[in-house]
Structure 1
Amino acid sequence: MEFIDYYKILEVPKTATEADIKKAYRKLARKFHPDVSPNDKNAEKKFKEINEANEVLSHPENRKKYDKYGKDWQHAEEFEKAGYNPNQQQSTGRQQQSADFSDDFSDYFQSMFGNAGGGRGREVRYRGQDLTAELRLTLKDVYQTQKQTLTVNHKSIRITIPAGVENGQIIKIPGHGAPGANGGPNGDLYITFSIVDTPPFKRDGNNLYTNVDLDLYTAVLGGDMVVNTFDGKVKLKVPPETQTGTKVKLKGKGFPLYKTEGQYGDLYITYTIKTPTNLTEKEKELFVELSKLRNDE
């Protein structure tokens, strides 16, 4: 298995903070999202790599293992139990490829898991094939962290879906792909999230957008009105002479940030002024009088 540099994929240095990694991931995910370039196979591949890199580097424990064991980070526990230190150069006369990963490390991995040649008297073990699945959800489904049971390859897998998962995001579940051959490790399962908006809300990143009807009288005279947010109702004060298309930002009333407890984006409300219909004769007279007053000014 070839070493993949997740830092290079996300275009961040090894010293990057969690915030740096999150910012880089969002920028690249938007750039290479399949919806942006639906016919670009390279973009689709890049998008998958970006999500895989983020899944590892955004998780502190996984990142620590990756920094130490590279492409074999998922087997960190086995190596540590065996007392292997990847930073100690073995006495084979070969030079270490980098500060963290060496040819000796790969040889050690092969000897542990049986991927070495017949010279060791073992059958070659083959890693199982990776599997893919798509999970269709709504914004309401991913507004809070939840657990779901999936059936993949006739097996039930219970997974935790963190709040704030984005449309098109791919997560990897290690070891839940096809079984390996000759006792080799299982492949991995890649789940792509297909998330649709929940009307009347639309999502862009961590922000939500919605339109709210505003009656003519409140728009002209001002007043209070109650509007729906994604998790309840709030009371807004409408200033006099509000125009149609006016936008209002409700801070912290947007969508939860992925794997960031207690932080949310914003909700943007756009007012649409509704013209009254079915006017009575008296109302029409008042509007005519008002029109005359405006024209006389």
Structure 2
Amino acid sequence: MEYKDYYKILEVDKKASKEEIKKQYKKLARKYHPDVNPGNKEAEEKFKAINEAHEVLSDDEKRQKYDSLGADWQRYQQTGGRTGGFDWAQYAQDANAGGGRYTYQTEEEGSDFSDFFSSIFGSMGGGGRRSSMRSKGQDYSAELTVFMEEAFHGVKKTFTLHDKSLRINIKPGVEDGQVIRLKGNGGPGRNGAEPGDLYITLRVPADPRFTRQGNDIYIDAQVPVYRAALGGDFFVDTLDGQLKLKIKPETKNGTLLRLKGKGFPVYNQPGQFGDLYVKVVLQLPEALTDKEKELFQQLAQLRNDK
């Protein structure tokens, strides 16, 4: 029977911690999962070996027993296959021996655990039946478009993924590229294990009217030149409806007005907002009437007199 080097299969050192083993297992399992490699028999076998290695090395009792076997197996090989002090019987136990320390489900030949594993941690006996393993389902990923106004107010979205209809509640303040996790909405688990998760990357396209920088919003306000010169009230469109601004007399072109707390809502922090910055862009009058031209000429003469 061929010895399986579980440390080599998981690509970890023999002194690796349980956390290191868990992290490496997740990395390799995601890479070789059958759902990611449909029809790839080599990847499927690799996936089975990775899960088997994790089953052993993540369990303190199994790992200790396996490590002891490793030393004995090495002596066995050095003797050219003769006994050489190697007692295989102490390892080839039934799973229910010793008070039923290990309990496994079984399924027909072709399931996930190897004969090597079964010989050490429990012979299921007859018909080539092997131990069956549990593994969490594959994580899925998807992208979802959320427009600027939806990101500002929050929105409920319904979409279909893998023939499954999902409804997601998006809170106000989400950003482009933000990832939301929907637990249990990934691929099905194996042999009763929990399903994977769904990770949704939100895409918030740019809006021609507004520029967002963090939680602050920048907009341009086309202010008539006479309003900027004389001052007065001016209404500007925002993501939260029209807002009245007080324009001071002689406001210059390019002036940036800051409205505190009128920007984007801060994600997951109700009642907190960024700021709104309004840039004054002077708007010259067009299609002047004769009377308007006359008045502008009078103004020009007055200014020249000064």
| Range with bigger deviation, 111-120 or 246-255 | 111-120
Structure 1 unaligned spans of 5+: 5-89, 95-110
Matched, 1:163 2:172: yes
Q: For the residues of structure 2 that align with 1:183 and 1:113, how far apart are their CA atoms?
A: 13
Distance 1:213 1:113, change over 3 A: farther
Could you say what the CA RMSD is over the residues aligned between the two structures, in angstroms? 3.0
Unaligned runs of 5+ in 2: 1-9, 11-17, 21-59, 65-101, 106-111, 125-130
Note if contact 2:229-2:251 (Cα within 8 Å) is conserved in structure 1: yes
CA, structure 1 residues 177+291, in 2 after alignment: closer, same or farther (shift >3 Å)? same
The answer to whether structure 1 residue 236 and structure 2 residue 266 are counterparts is no
Cα separation, partners in 2 of 1:285 and 1:242, compared to 1, 3 Å = same
Corresponding letter in the other structure for 2:226: Y
Return the letter of the residue paired with 2:301: K
- Structure 1 residues 112 and 269: CA distance shift in structure 2, 3 A: farther
How far 1:3 sits from its partner (Å)? 4.4
User: What amino acid is the match of 1:138?
Assistant: F
Does 1:283 find its partner at 2:296?
no
What residue is the counterpart of 1:186 in the other structure?
195
1:176 aligns with 2:193: no
Question: Could you say which residue in structure 1 is the equivalent of 2:264?
Answer: 255
Matched, 1:210 2:219: yes
Structure 2 partner of 1:153: 162
Rounded to whole Å, the distance in 2 between the matches of 1:167 and 1:191 is 11
User: Given residue 267 of structure 1, which amino acid in structure 2 is its aligned partner?
Assistant: L
- Using the size of structure 1 for normalisation, the TM-score is 0.58
Say which of 274, 281, 289 aligns to 1:272.
281
Distance 1:140 1:231 in 2: 8
Distance in 2 (CA, whole Å) between partners of 1:252 and 1:199 is 22
Paired positions, count: 196
Inter-partner Cα distance in structure 1 for 2:103 and 2:138: 20
Corresponding residue of 1:124: 133
Structure (1 or 2) with the larger CA radius of gyration: 2
Q: Supply the distance in 2 between the matched residues of 1:176 and 1:127 (Cα, whole angstroms).
A: 12
Partners of 2:139 and 2:168 in 1: how far apart?
17
Instruction: Map 1:40-189 onto structure 2 (within 5 A).
Output: 118=118, 119=121, 122-189=131-198
Q: Is the 8 A contact 1:229 1:253 kept in 2?
A: no
What's the TM-score once normalised by structure 2's chain length?
0.57
How has the CA–CA distance of structure 1 residues 219 and 267 changed in structure 2, closer, same or farther, with 3 Å as cutoff? same
CA distance in 2, matches of 1:262, 1:112: 53
